[in-house]
Amino acid sequence: MPTFPVRTPSASYDAIVERGALAQLKAHIPPRAGRVFAVSTPDVWQLYRERFTAAMGGREFDVIEFAGGEERKRMSEVEVMAEAMLARGADRSSLVIGFGGGITTDLAGFLAAIFMRGVPVIQIPTTLLAQVDAGVGGKTGANLVSGKNLIGAFHQPLVVLTDPDLLATLPAREYVAGLFEVLKSGIIRSPELFRVFVERPASLLRREAAPLEFAIAESVRIKCEVVSADEKEGGLRRILNFGHTVGHAIEAETAYKRYLHGEAVALGMKAAIHISHLTGRLPADLAADMLTAIDACGAVPSAADLSVANLCARLAQDKKTLQGSVHFVLTSGPGETEVVSGLPLEVVREAVATAIQ
Ligand SMILES: NC(=O)c1ccc[n+]([C@@H]2O[C@H](COP(=O)([O-])OP(=O)(O)OC[C@H]3O[C@@H](n4cnc5c(N)ncnc54)[C@H](O)[C@@H]3O)[C@@H](O)[C@H]2O)c1
Ligand SMILES: [Zn+2]
């Protein structure tokens, strides 16, 4: 079974990627755990309640359902969940299980991080994005009215169970948005994964078992490796932000309504690829391969009406901004990255303008 270790100063645990991994759940519940609380959304729960219950193998548990959606990813929701836990007899020995997309795993992780100053959490991500990104790494949190993910905590899970079978029911648009993040992993750290996007994109789009499992496992491996080297995003973890500098600006400029996160990252990756080429890091043929690979995953809503000047102004406000200068993750080829700041504004402007056409 492909198992990837995460070893950070605060915790050591495994991310397991395997078809049917959900069925192993009971074996990962610590014998001394008290009440178990599964946090999920009604759609996921309706689809997978029976499989989840079977995976608990007769062990008693409670379900805490919340509506889902970015507007519900709020502290107030966490408080409601904590009250529900207490009402059902939770204490310091309780265990939380996040069972859903990235919104669920972020909120369930945050709930676990602060409930009675911290109880353990097991993450079972059910979207492609959450399987390759949100579910691994211990970043948890909620949105403020002023911005996304502005409150939160690092809280590493006991284990991450990643079951590609759960993706069969994922809507196509959500799936493609996740694929863009998988492609990102290939570009930053795995030429082999990148090659799958160049040579067999249709097999990924059809969700064929073998290439999909490889793509998820490779992305999870990379995330585990990077998080192990840099738990709190001081150095190496920043390479995971490839495509995110401009991607975040596009999400903010469209009020988080037009694009799914992965779609905005796809446009942001195009900008990063253009900058990499314009600054002499990335040869034209490799840049063309990368741009073709992005387009092969699927179309994203048009960005041609967005103002390049507004997007560039937003770049300066990105929370990843350090010491006043905008950082870009650039590439010189699959598996090769570099974090660069202080780029000439004209280069950024030209790259953004080309990317959103
Ligand atoms: N913690 C991190 O490191 C990290 C990293 C990346 C993203 N995130 C967060 O993740 C969130 C986005 O996650 P997301 O894209 O998974 O969105 P999401 O959680 O909203 O899930 C997308 C939709 O798919 C539904 N769904 C989930 N699993 C399904 C399944 N198997 N079948 C059918 N439908 C299913 C969900 O109910 C939801 O409607 C954002 O809030 C983002 O901030 C966190
Ligand atoms: Zn992302």
- Residue 106 near ligand 1, beta carbon < 6 Å: yes
Q: What is the sign, positive or negative, of the torsion defined by CA atoms of 177, 192, 224, 248?
A: negative
Q: Return the pLDDT at 316.
A: 80
**165-211 residue pLDDT tens:** 999 999 999 999 999 999 999 999 999 999 999 999 999 999 999 99
Q: What is the mean pLDDT of the chain?
A: 95
Ligand nearest the Cα of residue 132 is 1
**109-126 residue pLDDT tens:** 999 999 999 999 999 999
Residues contacting residue 27 through CB under 8 Å, at least 6 positions apart: none
Residues contacting residue 302 through CB under 8 Å, at least 6 positions apart: none
Q: Which residue has the tokens 């995976």?
A: 55
- Residue 169 near ligand 1, beta carbon < 6 Å: yes
Q: Which atom of ligand 1 is nearest to the CA of 141?
A: 1
Angle, CA of 309, 312 and 318, to the nearest 5°: 145
Residue of 196, 124, 208 whose CA lies nearest to 166 = 124
Question: 353 alpha carbon to ligand 2 midpoint, in Å?
Answer: 21
Residue nearest to atom 25 of ligand 1 (CA): 101
What pairs with residue 160 in β-bridges?
15, 123
**Known active-site residue 70:** no
Pocket probe mutation, ligand 1, options 8, 39, 48, 106, max atoms within 8 Å of Cβ: 106
- Tell me the mean pLDDT in the region 307-332: 82
- Residue 170 near ligand 1, beta carbon < 6 Å: yes
**285-308 residue pLDDT tens:** 999 999 999 999 999 999 999 999
**124-175 residue pLDDT tens:** 999 999 999 999 999 999 999 988 899 999 999 999 999 999 999 999 999 9
**Amino acid, single-letter form, for residue 170:** L
**Amino acid, single-letter form, for residue 206:** R
Q: Return the pLDDT at 281.
A: 98
**Known active-site residue 223:** yes
Q: Return the pLDDT at 324.
A: 62
Q: Which residue has the tokens 């034209």?
A: 284
Ligand nearest the Cα of residue 320 is 2
**Known active-site residue 314:** no
Q: Return the pLDDT at 321.
A: 52
- Residue 181 near ligand 1, beta carbon < 6 Å: no
Given 244, 277, 281, 327, which residue is catalytic?
244
Pocket probe mutation, ligand 1, options 47, 48, 103, 179, max atoms within 8 Å of Cβ: 103
**Known active-site residue 248:** yes
Between the CA of residue 187 and those of 50, 270, 289, what are the distances in Å?
Answer: 38, 12, 11
Using CA atoms, how far apart are residues 177 and 265, in angstroms rounded to an integer?
A: 9
**Known active-site residue 117:** yes
The contacts found for 226-231 with CB under 8 angstroms, 24 or more apart, are 226/189, 227/6, 227/8, 227/136, 227/137, 227/138, 228/5, 228/6, 228/7, 228/8, 231/8, 231/9, 231/10, 231/138, 231/154
Cβ 172 vs Cβ 262: under 8 Å: no
**Helix/strand/coil for 325:** strand
Percentage of the chain lying above the pLDDT 90 cut = 92
**Known active-site residue 207:** no
Ligand nearest the Cα of residue 67 is 1
Question: What pTM, to 2 d.p., does this model score?
Answer: 0.96
Residue of 200, 220, 221 whose CA lies nearest to 211 = 200
